[in-house]
Structure 1
Amino acid sequence: MATVEHCLCCFEALAAYHERRKPMSLSEIEKSWAEYINTIDDDGDEADNKEEAAPVASKTPQIPALRRLAEASASSSSSSSASLSTNSSAGSASSSSNTTLQSGISTPATSVSASPAPAQVHESPLFVTWNVVRRSSDDDDDDDDDEDDDVHLRGCIGTFEAQPLSSGLPSYALTSALQDTRFPPISRAELNPSLQVAVTLLTDFEPAADAMDWELGRHGLRISFVYRGRRYGATYLPDVAPEQGWTKEETVLSLMRKAGWLGDKSRWREVELRVVRYQGKKEKLMYEEYKAWRDWVDGKTAE
């Protein structure tokens, strides 16, 4: 499962790229985040140790979502500040080879299998998704649900090859932000409160018996097929179909279209599909939440 720290790592990689500085490593971020959440009490006002943390905490914007993130981090990683995990938004890809594709997937030559993510994950197949989120006017500040928000995909690239998270997260954060050919590169000006990053770590790859052998909201789907001598392939992350309100059949057909198939949609079942289902829970983070933590880090450095 993905963590807030994974999302921070992605934002840190993109911000450092635009600011032409060296980014903090994932291990440094994990240690720093553990210290940071200790400066936020249950009400998100001040640190428990006010004498030591008050000068820094006073500089920290009290964003309601930060309290949620702090509580989530405390409950999920209290046994280890190095716990790793993930969460993400929409993602799709298509291909005819074993290279990184236009739609953002690096596909291995052989089928992928993975075990359920343990408490600590050091490497994993992963996707990094960037979104622009316009909050609805009646949103509750503490609500982390994007259902009523205006969400636009800004980039999504990932890989089914297991990656060391320490290097894979920053690498794919930049690749999805700057090299998704469906969109222009994310500029420095776009590092603003509307930018969101989501990380998804993929697990539990298994062959599906057929195109309908999977569950909406639980499984991501990866298909490959040959049609008229041409190879096709594409994937959707587990949350894509529920977010779009698709049925299973609509999801599979959309996935075939995403792969580039232009056949008669009424005859899609005649195409012999190879289907792999997988799981993966995402974590997401808004830029303002990253910036609050980063300002705290800079404040500590300046002391």
Structure 2
Amino acid sequence: MMSSELLVPRNPPANADSNAAIAEHCFHAFDAIYCALTTCTPVLPEFADEKYPLFVTWNTRSTRLGGSPRLRGCIGTFEAQPIREGLAEYALISAFKDSRFPAIQERELPNLECMISLLTNFEDASSYLDWTVGVHGIYISFAHPLLSGVLSDASGTPSPSSSSPSLHARSTRYASHRLLTATYLPDVMPEQGWNKIEAIDSAIHKAGWNGNITEDLRRSIKLRRYQSSKCTVGWKEFMAWRKENATEV
């Protein structure tokens, strides 16, 4: 999973439960798109309706034995959601409205797998390096470099401190006054083989900055680290669950 569409507030909430995701969460998400693509009635969830920030990821499994899964959609939120409603909502959004992919179609269902990530244990890091690859996801925020003053003239990008008023106006006209933000879930760094610097630099570009990345820019980052409780089920598991729990299949 290289990246994820993201809907985030500036201060993601904390959650202390690190063993939260269960198969029933995945079944509920799978059921949402299955019923949206057919005339079937959803199975009512029975799991506890707690609140979590969450991501719903759809992967396509290759028909070849041992084939690696390919990302088919992934969208989530850092705003804690009542999990029954949130899983169903983001299952549909990630399946049908991820702008990177066409909407999932009924014929694709047998090759799909669903992964639920419930985000937990949010902590403010002491620096952009204060996290562990393979353990933490990262959520970064930083002021646009053209406005924050972290770039020097040697960066290859005009500095806001330039003595030319017209150059300064031209530079800042395109700079956003809001914070730039980006996140990577914990799995992304090991999957891509990134170290911390590579992950941070990729996240900076993902946030929308395409200029030179300096050490001052990295140090200007506010980083929140978090962990993820995950569960994944495939189509066959989902259908076995539905046959057992639904009045219709």
Using structure 1 for the length normalisation, give the TM-score.
0.61
Q: Which residue of 2 aligns with 1:124?
A: 52
Q: Which residue of 2 aligns with 1:255?
A: 203
Aligned partner of residue 263 in structure 1, secondary structure:
coil
Partner of residue 170, structure 1: 88
Partner of 1:12: 31
Unaligned segments of structure 1, at least 5 residues = 28-81, 85-120, 140-148
Question: 1: distance between equivalents of 2:70 and 2:216?
Answer: 31
Q: SS of the counterpart of 1:131? A: strand
Instruction: Verify: 1:26 aligned to 2:35, yes or no.
Output: no
- Residue 295 (structure 1) shift: 2.9
TM-superposed CA distance for 1:20, in Å, is 3.2
Task: Kindly state the Cα deviation for residue 15 of structure 1 after the two structures are TM-superposed.
Answer: 0.2
Cα displacement (A) at 1:218: 0.9
Q: Which residue of 2 aligns with 1:74?
A: none
**Separation of aligned partners in 2, 1:220 and 1:279:** 6
The Cα offsets for residues 236-270 of structure 1, whole Å up to 9 and x where unpaired, read as 111111122111111111111212210124x2542
Distance 1:221 1:135 in 2: 33
Encode CA deviations 1:29-65: one digit per residue, 9 max, x unaligned: xxxxxxxxxxxxxxxxxxxxxxxxxxxxxxxxxxxxx
- Deviation by residue 1:157-192 (Cα, 9 ceiling, x = unmatched): 111111111111101110111111111111111111
Q: What corresponds to 2:217 in structure 1?
A: 270
1:214 maps to amino acid: W
**C-alpha separation in 2, matches of 1:197 and 1:162:** 20
Alignment partner of 1:154: what SS? Answer: strand
Residues 118-146 of structure 1: per-residue CA shift (max 9 Å, x gap) = xxx71111111111122653x4xxxxxxx
Residue of 191, 206, 225 corresponding to 1:243? 191
Give, in whole Å, the separation in 1 of the partners of 2:225 and 2:41.
38
1:295 aligns with 2:213: no
- What amino acid sits opposite 2:217 in the alignment? E
Q: How much identity, in percent, do the aligned residues show?
A: 43
Counterpart Cα distance in 1 of 2:216 and 2:114: 35
* Aligned match of 1:215: 132
State the alpha-carbon separation in 1 of the partners of residues 93 and 70 from structure 2: 18
1:284 pairs with 210, 232, 238, which one?
232
Distance 2:130 2:187 in 1: 17
Contact 1:220 1:237 in 2 (8 A): yes
**How far is the alpha carbon of 1:281 from its aligned partner?**
1.8
**Deviation of the 1:200 alpha carbon:** 0.7
2:9 matched residue in structure 1: none
Give the Cα–Cα distance (whole angstroms) in 2 for the partners of residues 22 and 214 of structure 1.
44
String of CA shifts for 1:203-246, please: whole Å, max 9, x gaps. Answer: 11111111110011111100111222423111111111112211
CA 1:241–1:123 in structure 2 vs 1: closer, same or farther (change >3 Å)?
same
Listed as ranges, the matches of 1:150-229 within 5 Å are 150-192=68-110, 194-227=111-144, 228=146, 229=175
TM-score by length of 2: 0.74
Contact (CA 8 Å) 1:157, 1:176: kept in 2 or not?
yes
Task: Report the counterpart of residue 181 of structure 2 in structure 1.
Answer: 233
Q: For residue 69 of structure 2, give the secondary structure of its aligned residue in structure 1.
A: strand
- Do the aligned residues in 2 keep the contact of 1:25 with 1:166 (CA within 8 Å)? no
Name the CA shift for 1:190/1:253 in 2 (closer, same or farther; >3 Å): same
Counterparts in 2 of 1:269 and 1:185: CA distance versus 1, 3 Å: farther
Question: How do 1:125-140 and structure 2 match up within 5 A?
Answer: 125-134=53-62, 137=65, 139=66
Give me the whole-angstrom Cα distance separating, in 1, the residues matched to 2:58 and 2:85.
18
Checking the alignment, whether the CA contact within 8 Å between 2:43 and 2:245 is kept in structure 1 is no
Q: Provide the C-alpha distance between the structure 1 equivalents of 2:235 and 2:73, rounded to a whole number of angstroms.
A: 15
Q: Specify whether residues 196 and 211 from structure 1 end up closer, same or farther in structure 2 by C-alpha distance, changes over 3 A only.
A: same
CA RMSD of aligned residues (A): 1.8
**Residue correspondences, number:** 197
Unmatched runs of 5 consecutive residues or more in structure 2: 1-19, 147-174
2:33 and 2:91 in contact (8 A); partners too: yes
